[in-house]
Amino acid sequence: MPHSYEATHEYARDQDNTDTLFSFRERFLFPQHNGGDVRYFCGNSLGLQPKSVSYLMDRELRDWAKYGVEGHFKAGFPWFSYHHFFAERLGKITGAGKDEVVAMNSLTVNLHLLMLSFYRPQGKRYKILMEAGAFPSDQYAVETQVRMHGYDPDDAIIEITPRNDAYLIADEDITNAILEAGDTLALVLIGGVNYYTGQYFDLENITKAAHKSGAYAGFDLAHAVGNIPLHLHDWNVDFACWCSYKYLNSGPGGVGGAFVHERHGNDPKLFRLGGWWGNDENTRFKMQKGFAPQKGAASWQMSNAPVFNMVAHNASLDIFDKAGITALREKSIALTGYMEFLLQQITHLPFEIITPANPARRGCQLSMLFKERGKEVHEALTQNGIIADWREPNVIRIAPVPLYNTFEDCYRFYEILTGIR
């Protein structure tokens, strides 16, 4: 990957010509603009559709037609065990054992279910620490969980804010706040990558600090999974959850995912809500009273797998398995670095990049904070076949996704910006 960049079309094409992952973009369908593919920089909001989804969906429909109820065991991908098909591939992406991860439900549903297990306030240990400016759904979940246990959110929730006029939260401010909270802290719940700024937090050290204070460490990885290599097992993370429709390209409302460290997942005494699909598979059809959780994260399942909802997830994870998260991360660093370099050449528009400059502290997102004209610029990009994301009140988020974005895409983005006057 390059150590220096050039703001030329020739340079961008040369990088694409030597990119070993370039062909993976052919596995995706692009929205159209004036008869050609758009330049799609919105994968941090909704990933593109893999071309194989329609084939795999048709296969499930044929199996349903052919087998009816017997498709639970006779389908090409038997529905009874459908969630198992994701475990090994999800484990590679998240740095987890196959029994520590499960595809199920949706993100906030999973967050609530996991908090019911890992937020168990007792005595003076009742507080939750999170980052200020977390995605609203996380804020709502934490607020209502706190209220459910009879606490006042203004007292029970500790929010870590950036210093002074900064946009980013210093890593040491998080760990210091955890240690300062001490034995009042029950849970640390951080978004792995902040949706607004694109800041990637130091999950390993946050986990260590939480455990030192006697608290659990959990993470919302919606903007981290499929974006940055994770090592959840080795980092000793207690639990995590994520959606699959962003970098994992699994369609709007696609199935969510959850991680539970094996020391918890294999402990039947740890409280979790019971459901048929979380019960021991060997006794599931005996239809008996008494919830007996199966091994691992799968015991947090409530109902049987929503197979049609999972088809796109199956298609996308197959692409990830072939590309490899390590190679994708290498390209991501170079591609995002090139976009950052190009944006730094733009001096006539009133914006600044608020995403960390250190590649180790970000994924493939750059957030452009506009002092003025932001909405106007976003509309101009859209009119020129660039799909980016507008976030109120004044940020354009762009995500050069390594699976399907190119260096030439980045250069085209730069070209259009230079023409906006």
Crossing angle of the two packed helices 9-17 and 325-343, in degrees rounded to 10: 180
Give residue 3's pLDDT: 60
Q: Which residue has the tokens 């706040």?
A: 177
User: Confidence class of residue 282 from pLDDT cuts 50, 70 and 90?
Assistant: confident
The single-letter code of the amino acid at 211 is H
Say how far apart CA 231 and CA 229 lie, in whole Å: 7
Query: Once rounded to an integer, what is the mean pLDDT over residues 379-384?
Result: 96
Task: Look at residue 288 in the predicted model and tell me its pLDDT.
Answer: 87
Superfamily covering domain 9-50+326-418: Aspartate Aminotransferase, domain 1 (3.90.1150.10)
pLDDT value of position 284: 83
| Average pLDDT of the residues in 64-74 | 96
Q: What string of DSSP letters covers 4-57?
A: S---SHHHHHHHHHT-TTGGGGGGEE--EETTEE-EE-BTTTSPPEETHHHHHH
What is the mean predicted confidence (pLDDT) over 276-293?
88
Q: What is the pLDDT of residues 76-91, one digit of tens each?
A: 999 998 999 999 999 9
Q: How confident is the model at residue 165 (pLDDT cuts 50, 70, 90)?
A: confident
Q: Sketch the domain layout of the chain as residue ranges.
A: 9-50+326-418, 82-321
Please, are residues 224 and 196 in contact by the beta-carbon 8 Å criterion? no
**Type of residue found at 308:** F
Burial, 164: exposed, middle or buried (Cβ in 10 Å; 0-12, 13-18, 19+)?
Answer: exposed
Q: Is the pLDDT of residue 283 over 90?
A: no
Q: Which of 20-24, 219-223, 255-259, 277-281 has the lowest mean pLDDT?
A: 277-281
CA–CA distance, 210 with 200 (Å, rounded to integer): 18
Partners of 37 in beta bridges: 32
- Size (the chain), residues: 421
DSSP 29: E
What is the per-residue pLDDT for 1?
44
Tell me the mean pLDDT in the region 252-268. Answer: 97
* Span 82-321 CATH architecture: 3-Layer(aba) Sandwich (3.40)
pLDDT of residue 153: 97
Q: What is the mean pLDDT of residues 152-178?
A: 96
**pLDDT band at residue 23 under the 50/70/90 scheme:** very high
- Segment 227-237 shows an average pLDDT of 98
